[in-house]
Structure 1
Amino acid sequence: MSGPNGDPDVSADDGIVEDEEEFSEEEYTAIDCMLDQINSCLDHIEERNQALNGKLHELLESNREARREFREQHPPDEEPESAED
């Protein structure tokens, strides 16, 4: 039988605990700690993503400005200078 994610030989009920008393207080504390660590990692990733996004926008704006300046210095209708011998 295919599992919930298409994995073979995994039933949808595998790993599901129906009796909440099977977890001890220590297990809940450990799970809570792991979730806190995951949340902290996700926050860190989000901060880095926002910083990278900001740097990307700065780079794009700098590129636009450089292209604008280049166009001002080299208008498209300007004839290229010919080299005289």
Structure 2
Amino acid sequence: MKMSGPNGDPEVPAVEGIIEDEDDFNEEEYAAINSMLDQINSCLDDLEERNDALNGKLHELLESNRQARQEFRAQLNEKKVEEQKQPPSEG
């Protein structure tokens, strides 16, 4: 008489269905995986360098923009001061 398992499934002998922990990879497959990981690492390093370069350029652009705005404001303020010094023209 066969007994069923805890979930009502038929009992499976202990030897069947067990996956052994032996590594099925050979050295060539490990070398290929290692090579792929090296390529991925190299790509990530390249992306990081490009990101750092872009961040540096963005910082320079923002600083340049800030300086240009300050100069523009200063010019506007000078014009306002000059306009206030000149008496209104009578016509």
**Percent identical across equivalent pairs?**
70
The answer to whether 1:33 aligns with 2:35 is yes
Alignment of 1:10-49 (within 5 A): 19-49=21-51
Scaled by the length of structure 1, what TM-score is found? Answer: 0.67
- Going from structure 1 to structure 2, the CA distance change for 1:55 and 1:18 (only over 3 Å counts) comes to farther
In structure 1, stretches of 5+ residues that fail to align are 1-16
* Match among 52, 55, 58 for residue 53 of structure 1: 55
Deviation for aligned residue 1:19: 2.6
- Going from structure 1 to structure 2, the CA distance change for 1:55 and 1:46 (only over 3 Å counts) comes to same
Alignment of 1:73-84 (within 5 A): 73-75=75-77, 78=80
- Measure, in 2, the Cα distance between the counterparts of 1:74 and 1:25: 73
Amino acid at match of 2:36: M
- Measure, in 2, the Cα distance between the counterparts of 1:18 and 1:71: 75
**Bigger relative contact order (CA 8 A; separation at least 6):** 1
In structure 2, stretches of 5+ residues that fail to align are 1-18, 84-91
User: What is the CA RMSD across the aligned residues, in angstroms?
Assistant: 2.4
